[in-house]
Amino acid sequence: MVENFILPRQNLYTETRLFVSMGVGEECGVVACVLKEDFAETFNVAEILNNLLGELQHRGQTSSGIATFSKHNKKLLKTLKEAGKVAHLFKNWDKNYTAQKMKEFNGEIGIGHVRYATSNVDDDAFTILEEAQPFLRRHGRPWKRFAIAFNGHIANYDELKKELLEEGYILDTDVDTEVIMHLISLSLKKHLTHTPEGLFKSFEEVIAKLDGSFNCVFLNASGDLVVFRDPLGLRPLVIGENEKFFAVASESKALNKVGITNFRDVAPGEVVIIKNGEMICKSLKIDSRCAHCHFEYVYFSDTCSINDSILVNDVRKNLGKILGREERLKGRFGEEDWMVVPVPSTSIPAAVAYSYETNVAFSFSLIKNDVGRGFINSTEMRKTIMNAKYSIIPESVRDKKVILVDDSIIRGETCQRVIKLLRDAGASEVHLRVTELPIKFPCFYGVDFPSYKELIAGDINGSKEEIEKQVAQKINADSMGFISFEGLKESLGGNGDTFCFACLTGKYPTEKGQELADGLR
């Protein structure tokens, strides 16, 4: 029976994480670009994709890839993928190789992807490449031959995979994108996809089947680009244009890089088709609910990005300001030897605002070395990275009472190491302040938090004060404090109605997400 071969993906979220090697939980970045007709000969879409992807490197470093379409190319649609960072894709250090690949993948339309595999980082290069995106669906008909790249996580993946297996499909990977790719190809069969109406119908059908977060860019060998975002708008996605090209990216920072200042969010539930140089948009939203991932603002997104019309940097400043306002150590701030120190780099705007709000001196005493983001790597790799991640300026913290400001605390390993660094350098006290609440629940929408047992506050129950006390003991801080839930919502600029907080509250915005969480309980 085919069912016997379906490994239930929700087991990723159990304490034991039996299927940790399956490699499915991921947070990624997608891009797309369409050259306008007058500039199709003078610009190279591969170069623009390379620049766009380079600005999304913080969203994924496991693999990078592009697919480009050129009406001058016999194959029309070609993919180039590499394990590792975007620089590896075109071997930016080797001018001849870069020039040759740029020529080979020159085209008028393209899509791209950076992958952030949280579970498969120990895999061999072959598997990493096999799971790298864009995925290419080969077919003899140009409108049925397509490439697709995806950012998000499908909560009902197991059911969809089962359906496909029962239809007789063979799946090569455990990656959501492959399932979406086959669902799209099934829908494309049914509709007249030479026309925008047919394409809309196909994607409407696919979107109706998916539960979770999904931002997709699709490009067929007829030169049609389709972009869609899930109805709750869980992950950010922007689209813009200048006189030379249209561009799409997971974050606006990437559009800025290629000179696009005129951009907007792809609305939750919106499908955008760019065909023959014309952009056609349609909303498939059936209600007004949104659930933007609040963690994008706290940690994932780049500080200079504008997600759903909110500047990430503004949220981070608000978080620091409000955390400072809530600070209960305030009574002691009159003493001269206090010092606010950010854990670089995400928490810098918050730490500056915190210092301003509390009137405590600010110091860049910790220097971040370029070793990647600790949260995204395997246990072994994470430890190695964390040991090399920060350097300290001892003279600036000696005999100081340090208020260490961090964006979030997940396992607590980074904080623990930083606190030790500060104490070894002569800090007399170290107090940790965090611009997030304790993460207590799994994410089914693309952020692969560690298992319940590994989360620093996963097994601590009780009041906020009790959790803070126990976390402080675990990481050897003199005290620690999380921002309040009200403060977090206020930082996001409202009552929080349009955001997802499921990893804090256990209340999930989609049916399948809630079902998976209830099943674990």
Task: By CB under 6 A, name the one of 17, 85, 161, 294 that touches ligand SF4.
Answer: 294
Residue closer to ligand SF4, measured from CB, 223 or 509: 509
Task: Give the contact letters, 233-272, x = binds to ligand SF4 (CB under 6 A), - = no.
Answer: -x--------------------------------------
- If one asks whether residue 503 binds ligand SF4 (CB under 6 A), the answer comes out as yes
Reply yes or no on whether 443 is catalytic.
Answer: no
CA dihedral 9, 15, 16, 19 (to 10 degrees): 20
Alpha-carbon distances of 146 from 149, 346, 436, rounded to whole Å: 10, 37, 41
Which of the ranges 18-26, 260-268, 331-339, 501-509 carries the binding residues for ligand SF4, by CB under 6 A?
501-509
Query: Does 410 contact ligand SF4 by CB under 6 A?
Result: no
Only one of the segments 310-318, 451-459, 483-491, 499-507 lies at the binding site for ligand SF4 (rule: CB under 6 A); that segment is 499-507
Residue closer to ligand SF4 by CB (options 40, 443) is: 443
State which of positions 429-458 bind ligand SF4 (CB under 6 A). 443, 445, 447
Provide the total of helices (H) and of strands (E) in the chain, helices listed first.
18, 23
For ligand SF4, the closer CB: 189 or 507 = 507
Stretch that binds ligand SF4, among 175-183, 290-298, 309-317, 391-399 (CB under 6 A): 290-298
Q: Are 310 and 492 in contact (CB under 8 A)?
A: yes
CB of 294 to ligand SF4, least distance (A): 5
Asked whether position 155 contacts ligand SF4 by CB under 6 A, the answer is no
Q: Which helix (H) or strand (E) holds 182?
A: helix 176-190
* Structure token digits, residue 208: 């109706």
* Options 13, 245, 295, 390; binder of ligand SF4; rule CB under 6 A: 295
Residues 20-59 that bind ligand SF4 (CB under 6 A): none
Instruction: Decide: 56 and 89 in contact? Cβ < 8 Å.
Output: no
Work out the number of other CB atoms within 10 angstroms of the CB of residue 395. 9
**Nearest residue to 282 via CA among 229, 241, 232, 234:** 229
CB nearer to ligand SF4: pick between 44 and 156: 156
Stretch that binds ligand SF4, among 60-68, 201-209, 291-299, 397-405 (CB under 6 A): 291-299
User: Looking up tokens 């976390």, which residue turns up?
Assistant: 471
CB atoms within 10 A of CB 378: 17
Q: Which of 293, 343, 402, 457 binds ligand SF4 (CB under 6 A)?
A: 293
Q: Tell me how crowded residue 282 is: count the other CB atoms within 10 A of its CB.
A: 17
SS3 216: strand
Q: Residue 502, interface with ligand SF4 (CB under 6 A)?
A: yes
Q: Which of 131, 237, 501, 516 binds ligand SF4 (CB under 6 A)?
A: 501
Q: Which positions from 345 through 384 interact with ligand SF4, judged by CB under 6 A?
A: none
Q: How far is the CB of 254 from ligand SF4 (least distance, A)?
A: 20
Q: Please say whether the beta carbons of 448 and 119 come within 8 A.
A: yes
Are β-strands 270-275 and 278-283 bridged in parallel, bridged antiparallel, or unpaired? antiparallel
Phi, psi at 275, each rounded to 5°? -135, 130
Encoding tokens for residue 247? 């561009």
Which residues make Cβ contacts (< 8 Å) with residue 403, sequence separation at least 6? Answer: 329, 338, 339, 340, 341, 354, 358, 360, 431, 433
User: Which residue stretch of 55-63, 70-78, 339-347, 497-505 sits at the interface with ligand SF4 (rule: CB under 6 A)?
Assistant: 497-505
Minimum CB distance to ligand SF4, residue 214 (Å): 12
Residue 291 sits at φ, ψ, to 5 deg, of: -150, 65
**Residues marked as catalytic:** 28
Give the footprint of ligand SF4 on this chain (CB under 6 A).
234, 293-295, 443, 445, 447, 500-503
